[in-house]
Amino acid sequence: MQTKLIKAILALQPIFPAPVYFSVLTGHPWLWLSVIIAILPVGVRLRSTRSIITRTMFDIPIIIFAFGTLLGLLVSPDKNVAIGALSSTFASVLVYYGITSNANASRKYWLWMASIICLITLLLSLWFFSQSYHRVLFFNQWTFNLFSGLPKTNGPVLNLHTIGALLVVVIPPLAVGGFLKYNINLRIIALILCIFFTGILFLSDSGTGWLAFIISITFILVCWRKRLLWVIIPLEGLFAGAAAIFYKKFNWVRITFSTSSLMARIELWQNTLDLLKGKAAIMGLGPGVWLRVYSNHYATTVAIVHNSYLQLYCDAGILGFAAMVLAAVIIVHFSLHLLKSPHRNSTNWMGIGLIGSIIAGAVFAIFDTTHSVTDVTNNGYIYLSIPLLWIVAALISVINDKLSIH
């Protein structure tokens, strides 16, 4: 009985940090209690396996990033927000190691993991359409009306780009599910889910999401058949040309791909770069305090900087940025070895799908903040690290171990 309990705790290790996010976001349960719950599997693993974590390909970037965020806490003008950011970041790191520590789990375990991710994506999609009326247009109005009868909450509402960022990361691995030869039923389910979530992405009207989706799916299709590149690129050029021609003729095109929104983002980025001077160029502004610093300096309230790379630099300074660059180099190295492999088995294809997720996330990160959420309340705001990209990185690390790429 005790052995079964230990195995269950270790298998569910990636889920144990979840209370930390709720503590930061809602204040319940107590943060100290959530942290104890989060680290419980680590203690169990130490006692049963004599090791805390399994070494992974991203250990060094994570250590550098941790130092950057801790140094950022020293310069933060708002310690409460910074502690919330650090706590949720700590939880994301635990999610990462919870997944990688189960790298040798059976195929059934990873199918359950994929099912949980798809279920969460579905529930958040329903939450978006039932709680938000952001950008209701002629082609998606019916979806908002369909779920308008669901009960409303007083909590934060998902932005169309938030749900878009989640979908573009989830869709590529589902797309490659169609290439898995060992189980025809699994291939059919993966393709159905891929088409379903692609439809939700379209209905969300996230222009950035559409762009990231097109680039990532192009990558996957070219990996499948290189000659498709000669068909896809001209087609994408035609669509881009048509969008430019009809840009002023159709109101929904101007709304979805707003040039004024892009110019406002560029101004945000330029102003933020001005803030990152002197000591801030080294230490950053502090975890999660960009909103406060920016609002105080420019006498305007903007929730997010709309760029994950700048947000990361603000949170963790030059060390955080260096950690991101190192992680990117590791991913490129992994990708090159994976793509050069002459074999296209199921593990290889899942690696390609995860690279597609990274590509989509990297594109989306240029125009929005994808690794964190800022919830503005009447009493201030809450900054929360989210584990989405940490999960993708963990799955890449698992694929790397299975393929023995070093």
Q: Report in angstroms the alpha-carbon separations of 230 from 5, 74, 214, 221, 360.
A: 54, 53, 15, 11, 21
What percent of the chain is predicted at pLDDT more than 90?
68
Annotate the chain with three-state secondary structure: CHHHHHHHHHHCHHHCCHHHHHHHHHCCCCHHHHHHHHHHHHHHHHHHHCCCCCCCCCHHHHHHHHHHHHHHHHHCCCHHHHHHHHHHHHHHHHHHHHHHCCCCCCHHHHHHHHHHHHHHHHHHHHHHHHHCCCCCCCCCHHHHHHCCCCCCCCCCCCCHHHHHHHHHHHHHHHHHHHHCCCCHHHHHHHHHHHHHHHHHHHHHCCHHHHHHHHHHHHHHHHHHCHHHHHHHHHHHHHHHHHHHHCCCCCHHHHHHCCHHHHHHHHHHHHHHHHHCCCCHHHHCCCCCCHHHHHHHHHCCCCCCCCCHHHHHHHHHHHHHHHHHHHHHHHHHHHHHHHHHCCCCCHHHHHHHHHHHHHHHHHHHHHHCCCCEEEEEECCEEEEEECCHHHHHHHHHHHHHHHHCCC
Please tell me the least confidently modeled range out of 91-95, 165-169, 269-273, 337-341.
337-341
Cβ neighbours around 376 below 10 Å, total: 14
The pLDDT of residue 213 is: 97
pTM here is 0.94
pLDDT at residue 184, as a whole number: 85
- Tell me the average pLDDT across 236-259: 88
83-110 pLDDT tens trace: 999 999 999 999 999 999 999 999 899 9
Given pLDDT bands bounded at 50, 70 and 90, which one contains residue 365?
very high
Is the CB of residue 393 less than 8 Å from the CB of residue 303? no
Mean pLDDT, rounded, for 193-218: 96
305: Cα within 13 Å, side-chain hemisphere: 29
What integer pLDDT is reported at residue 346 of this predicted model? 85
Q: Which residue has the higher pLDDT, 330 or 254?
A: 330
Are 95 and 393 in contact, with CB atoms under 8 Å apart?
no
- Would you say how long the chain is, in residues? 406
Domain map (residue ranges) of the chain: 53-403
164/148 Cα distance (integer angstroms): 20
Reported confidence tier of residue 196, pLDDT bands at 50, 70, 90: very high
What is the rounded average pLDDT of the residues 262-270?
A: 94
Q: How far apart are the first and last CA of the chain?
A: 39
**Mean pLDDT, residues 214-226:** 93
Predicted confidence at residue 2, as pLDDT, reads 56
Asked whether the predicted pLDDT for residue 74 surpasses 50, the reply is yes
Query: Mean pLDDT lowest for which of 14-18, 317-321, 379-383, 388-392?
Result: 379-383
Task: Give me the chain's average pLDDT, please.
Answer: 91
When pLDDT is averaged across residues 196-208 and rounded to a whole number, the result is 96
* Residue with more model confidence, 1 or 10: 10
**Identity of the amino acid at 217:** I
Tell which residue, 321, 387, 354, 325, has the closest CA to residue 97: 387
Residue 252: pLDDT band (50, 70, 90) is: confident
pLDDT of residue 406: 44
Instruction: Name the more confident of 2 and 57.
Output: 57
Q: Which of 18-27, 77-86, 156-165, 354-363 has the lowest mean pLDDT?
A: 156-165
For residue 1, is pLDDT > 70?
no
Question: Is residue 266 scored above 50 in pLDDT?
Answer: yes
The CA-atom distances, in angstroms, between 275 and each of 177, 265, 270, 295, 385 are 45, 15, 9, 11, 22
pLDDT value for 179 = 76
